[in-house]
Structure 1
């Protein structure tokens, strides 16, 4: 498959200059059809064939396998969630917090990496330490000082505010040397770049498929290391969490599945698996090359004075300054161009491989 072919079967790109996949990406027909076809099978055919729970269990298992391939991680390390926020909360709630524990996050985090720690601070004697950054970058010395006595560190692999790629492996090593665990929000990466989370060495990675993968809402995932998993004590439990659901006493599943709970709609996970396969069929070399070319075109058109993201390619997220961000986004929307404003007082365009040079030129002309 080519990016042009994928665009042609994605209705969300037909009548709109859609440059907001960093928030949510419209799904192609094949993804929606995979999900809806499965739903029809489960509700119409499975009751008289393999059974509805058996059909759902197969969908969950196939989704975990696809996510493991996407992340370059063992299947046993994968848990299915509903979103990145859901995944971060499942980790946060499974840690046995003690008075005085320190959580470090950066000032670049999305609400998914902010609200769970604020809530924990309200419930426990917990310190949430916010590391200040500059232009989407972390100063290694300031970071090392901030995490020196931390229990957990949470940061984004690719910043949603600037589109910068953080040196995940280096940051993980610094935190581990200090005795801290590391939870990485990687939601901006799947679908726009190849991944191998085992190279990062993080204790947990949370993401979802509704952005650059162009998957459906409701299909998130967690990757958790074996060592960290052994320390976690899930507060919630259901038949998908345990090794033998019908036993008199329960024992958590040996893999990351212990962080799953009970009955959830399997259709989004079928769509997620299809979305992962679709991006694989294009190839991440082709995807990244196209995104790099398109973002270069946009950055050249914007000019250095407005550009807040790095001039050199790091991702498809391009943030730039305007006088009135919210009014600008509304005006662009009225002209058929979809971008978004940021809490930092800027505007962000998300450039995917399914976009075209004409999309970029339309944005620049509208600006």
Structure 2
């Protein structure tokens, strides 16, 4: 029987200490094989019908990870696309509550409307800041800059109490933090970070009644029978969230199908335990060096103020991290080991 460690060893062989999953996840070996197969199909003129099957397999896999019926999952290319649809559904003057310095792809579509009241508050005050006139609360489950985890249960309760909708960006959490997407109105996530897929695929979970969204980006794939919707207006939109699909990047979905299969085989709970164990080990090591990370209990992302300038030095030493807002950000995922943590601490101590 394969173990967590044996599965990971079979899929990953990084040439350096890679601690930058918050930017891009590493591709498993099976994903590289799937991408190669898809590219060869196009190069050789092989019928590409199986690549469209990958899209539906990816949708179903993400639905299982998100804990929702597959009919609630749309797939496109970016979180910003779905943020734009949600923003377009709000009436002029509606208030959107966000966390200060949240990721641009989440908050920017609401600012671009120009006629919405976008209010930003500290993350820890988000739930208490919901007001009777708040129409939508939009927040990342885990903050990109520093890994802080939103109190989503409190946000949901406050939103329900005031009749507001909720929109969660799970791009920095889906794949290592269990996701209960059905508890929120809208949940979006990209596939190229913790879900270990190629760039070019994203998801959006919508309510069963579609939450007032208009499929403004609908093309032929948004039809109930897509191959019958190639010409002229789409007469019969999909009766599911597929009406919000954007024409899929077939290569991306071919690779992501393999990546999500691995995530499901390993199990998100096991990945979470692994990732948090390494992150907490790093936090403990930082304390011994006299550094204090941004408080982010329960997060696989560790952000250290004042050390961002050391990112180039670490990269030269074969350790990939990132510099975010002057902080050194290390993101621990399933392919990392305790040796990676010790190597990072060793270089930081020098």
TM-score, normalised relative to structure 2: 0.89
C-alpha displacement at 1:27, in angstroms? 0.4
Cα root mean square deviation, aligned: 2.2
Residue 306, structure 1, aligned to residue 301, structure 2: no
Instruction: Indicate the residue corresponding to 2:125 in structure 1.
Output: 138
Q: Which of 154, 172, 178 is the aligned partner of 1:194?
A: 178
What is the distance in 2 between the residues matched to 1:336 and 1:349? 14
Q: Which of 110, 116, 132 is the aligned partner of 2:109?
A: 116
Residue 36, structure 1, aligned to residue 36, structure 2: yes
Residue 278, structure 1, aligned to residue 273, structure 2: no
What is the distance in 2 between the residues matched to 1:186 and 1:150? 21
Note if contact 1:294-1:351 (Cα within 8 Å) is conserved in structure 2: yes
In structure 1, the residue corresponding to 2:30 is in which secondary structure?
helix
Instruction: Indicate the residue corresponding to 1:86 in structure 2.
Output: 81
Q: CA, structure 1 residues 42+64, in 2 after alignment: closer, same or farther (shift >3 Å)? A: farther
Residue 25, structure 1, aligned to residue 25, structure 2: yes
In structure 2, the residue corresponding to 1:153 is in which secondary structure?
strand
Q: CA, structure 1 residues 171+330, in 2 after alignment: closer, same or farther (shift >3 Å)? A: same
Note if contact 1:208-1:220 (Cα within 8 Å) is conserved in structure 2: yes
Note if contact 1:302-1:364 (Cα within 8 Å) is conserved in structure 2: yes
Instruction: Indicate the residue corresponding to 2:239 in structure 1.
Output: 254
What is the distance in 1 between the residues matched to 2:191 and 2:66? 12
Q: How does 1:176-255 map to 2 (within 5 A)?
A: 176-198=160-182, 201-227=183-209, 229-245=210-226, 246=228, 250-255=235-240
What is the distance in 2 between the residues matched to 1:27 and 1:196? 25
What is the distance in 2 between the residues matched to 1:3 and 1:266? 30
Instruction: Indicate the residue corresponding to 1:129 in structure 2.
Output: 119
In structure 2, the residue corresponding to 1:213 is in which secondary structure?
coil
C-alpha displacement at 1:9, in angstroms? 3.3
C-alpha displacement at 1:273, in angstroms? 1.7
Q: Which of 29, 48, 73 is the aligned partner of 2:68?
A: 73
What is the distance in 1 between the residues matched to 2:81 and 2:12? 27
C-alpha displacement at 1:131, in angstroms? 1.4
C-alpha displacement at 1:4, in angstroms? 5.3
Residue 106, structure 1, aligned to residue 99, structure 2: yes
Note if contact 1:213-1:276 (Cα within 8 Å) is conserved in structure 2: yes
In structure 2, the residue corresponding to 1:98 is in which secondary structure?
coil
Q: Which runs of 5+ in 1 are unaligned?
A: none
Q: CA, structure 1 residues 311+216, in 2 after alignment: closer, same or farther (shift >3 Å)? A: closer
What is the distance in 2 between the residues matched to 1:244 and 1:283? 34
In structure 2, the residue corresponding to 1:128 is in which secondary structure?
strand
The number of residue pairs the alignment matches comes to 341
What is the distance in 2 between the residues matched to 1:258 and 1:234? 6
C-alpha displacement at 1:91, in angstroms? 2.9
In structure 1, the residue corresponding to 2:134 is in which secondary structure?
coil
What is the distance in 2 between the residues matched to 1:64 and 1:195? 15
C-alpha displacement at 1:197, in angstroms? 1.7
Note if contact 1:307-1:319 (Cα within 8 Å) is conserved in structure 2: no
TM-score, normalised relative to structure 1: 0.85
In structure 2, the residue corresponding to 1:226 is in which secondary structure?
coil
C-alpha displacement at 1:40, in angstroms? 2.5
Q: CA, structure 1 residues 285+231, in 2 after alignment: closer, same or farther (shift >3 Å)? A: closer
Instruction: Indicate the residue corresponding to 1:6 in structure 2.
Output: 8
Note if contact 1:108-1:160 (Cα within 8 Å) is conserved in structure 2: no
* 1:303-335 deviation line (CA, Å, top 9, x unaligned): 1853333374x121011122x52x311111111
Instruction: Indicate the residue corresponding to 1:171 in structure 2.
Output: 155
What is the distance in 2 between the residues matched to 1:283 and 1:58? 23
C-alpha displacement at 1:99, in angstroms? 2.6
What is the distance in 2 between the residues matched to 1:286 and 1:237? 38
Residue 62, structure 1, aligned to residue 57, structure 2: yes
